[in-house]
Amino acid sequence: MNSDYLLQIDKLRVSFWTEKGRLTAVEDASFYIKQGETLGVVGESGCGKSVTAESILKLHDDQLTDYEGTISYHNQNLLTESEKSLRKIRGNEISMIFQDPMSSLNPVYTIGDQIVESLRLHKKMSKKDAYQKAIEVLRLTGIPSPEQRVHDYPHQLSGGMRQRVMIALAICCEPTLLIADEPTTALDVTIQAQILDVMKDLQKKTSMGIMMITHDLAVVAETCDRVVVMYLGQVIEETDVKDLFNQPLHPYTIGLLKSMPNMDSDRTKELHEINGSVPSLHQVPQGCRFAGRCEFATEKCRNEAPILEEVTDSHKVRCWHYQEISLKRGASNGDS
């Protein structure tokens, strides 16, 4: 493992046992996160982005889940660690923010109690110190008068405030890696802007790595340094954020970018469409998984599965024809 990598995922494969048989939600996922950087993981529903994130902390039901590959963190493979040592990492060194703060906070404890619980468990703090620290982290996340709010129950707070509490809870033990699973999807845009700002500020102060899982490419543009695009359980493109928007290589990424209505696009033009819809994970196409919806697909795409190919040091893509496609795109962009 490269020494500046905080976390490295290698050939991760996650499958669940379901009523309809074995379902592989993530297949051959490999990427890394460096200290102090924000890695975006983008994709539509069912692409495996949340499953990947939850696998890092092994949050899936052990009885029903099979993991293959490795997730290396500080020279240990998290997938083979015991439950006991994972418990020392969860919420302490690696913590997670979930999408819906209402269902992830405990309604019968005050927010202070919930933060204190985590601090006492992981940092062995005294009750008094832990309360002080709780107030401090609540202040960091921009909650007004945290001395009073610390005694509030989750239902007394608004959605944006609850999400701040979730962030406070996640960062109270000063994690080295923060996994944020759609942290602003349930929030309004003005509140989203506040929350993204808070996360950026905290990152500057603590230099933690952030894994930002989202379906919103605009959020990626504003917050991330590097990006992993997933489709139907596979990583199909990995690049830094500038290249993602300036030189996307995979036809799916290109299509996604073109189909978004944009604040300064031409309103009279039809929006670009990606044909069809994402196939079910129970019927994964053989060959390239995107072939059925791809305008460039050939016989080869339908029969042979492409691998994630390294185009440059910082850009990888899983597509047989990316070279021709980018040539074609270059030509058509020149015309317009």
Partner 1 sequence: MAIPKEKEPIIKVKNLKKSFTAASSSFFKKNVVRAVNDVSFEIYEGETFGIVGESGCGKSTTGRTILRLTEPSGGEVFYHNQNIFDMKEKQFRTIRQDLQMIFQDPYASLDPKKRIGYSLEESMIIQKIGTKAERKERVLDLLEQVGFSKEHYDKFPHEFSGGQRQRIGIARALVLNPKFIVCDEPVSALDVSIQSQILNLLRKLQNDLKLSYLFIGHDLSVVRYIADRIGVMYLGEMVEKAPTDELFKNPLHPYTQSLLSAVPIPDPESRRERIILKGDVPSPLSVPSGCVFHTRCPYATERCRLEKPVKVQVDGNHEVQCHLYDE
Query: Based on CB atoms, which residue is closest to partner 1, 64 or 218?
Result: 218
User: How far apart (Å, rounded) are the C-alpha atoms in residues 69 and 65?
Assistant: 13
Among 120, 123, 133, 215, binds partner 1 (CB under 8 A): 215
Q: How far is the CB of 216 from partner 1 (least distance, A)?
A: 7
Of the ranges 27-35, 78-86, 239-247, 314-322, which one interacts with partner 1 (CB under 8 A)? 239-247
- Long-range interactions of 263-268: CB distance < 8 A, separation 24+: none
> How many residues sit in the footprint of partner 1 (CB under 8 A)?
45
Q: How far is the CB of 158 from partner 1 (least distance, A)?
A: 5
Q: Which two tokens stand for residue 55?
A: 């696998």
User: How far apart (Å, rounded) are the C-alpha atoms in residues 200 and 300?
Assistant: 44
Among 112, 146, 160, 248, binds partner 1 (CB under 8 A): 160
Quick check: 121 binds partner 1 (CB under 8 A)? no
Q: How far is the CB of 230 from partner 1 (least distance, A)?
A: 13
Quick check: 36 binds partner 1 (CB under 8 A)? no
4 burial type by CB count under 10 A (0-12 exposed, 13-18 middle, 19+ buried): exposed
Alpha helices in 90-187 (DSSP H): 101-104, 111-123, 127-140, 146-149, 159-171
Among 161, 178, 232, 294, binds partner 1 (CB under 8 A): 161
Among 189, 332, 334, 336, binds partner 1 (CB under 8 A): 189
Q: How far is the CB of 231 from partner 1 (least distance, A)?
A: 10
Query: Based on CB atoms, which residue is closest to partner 1, 71 or 97?
Result: 97
Of the ranges 3-11, 167-175, 190-198, 203-211, which one interacts with partner 1 (CB under 8 A)? 190-198
Q: How far is the CB of 54 from partner 1 (least distance, A)?
A: 20
**DSSP SS3 for 181:** strand
Quick check: 188 binds partner 1 (CB under 8 A)? yes
**DSSP SS3 for 7:** strand
Angle at 307 between CA 220 and CA 219, to 5 degrees: 5
User: How far apart (Å, rounded) are the C-alpha atoms in residues 179 and 105?
Assistant: 17
Among 85, 200, 207, 218, binds partner 1 (CB under 8 A): 218
User: How far apart (Å, rounded) are the C-alpha atoms in residues 330 and 332?
Assistant: 6
Quick check: 146 binds partner 1 (CB under 8 A)? no
Q: Residue 157: which of 180, 182, 187 has the closest Cα?
A: 187
Among 71, 178, 219, 228, binds partner 1 (CB under 8 A): 219
What letter does residue 287 receive in the DSSP assignment?
Answer: S
User: How far apart (Å, rounded) are the C-alpha atoms in residues 21 and 70?
Assistant: 24
- State in Å, rounded, how far the first CA of the chain is from the last one: 45
Q: Which residues bind partner 1 (CB under 8 A)?
A: 44-45, 144, 158-161, 188-194, 196-197, 215-222, 241-242, 244-245, 255-257, 259-263, 265, 267, 270-274, 277-278
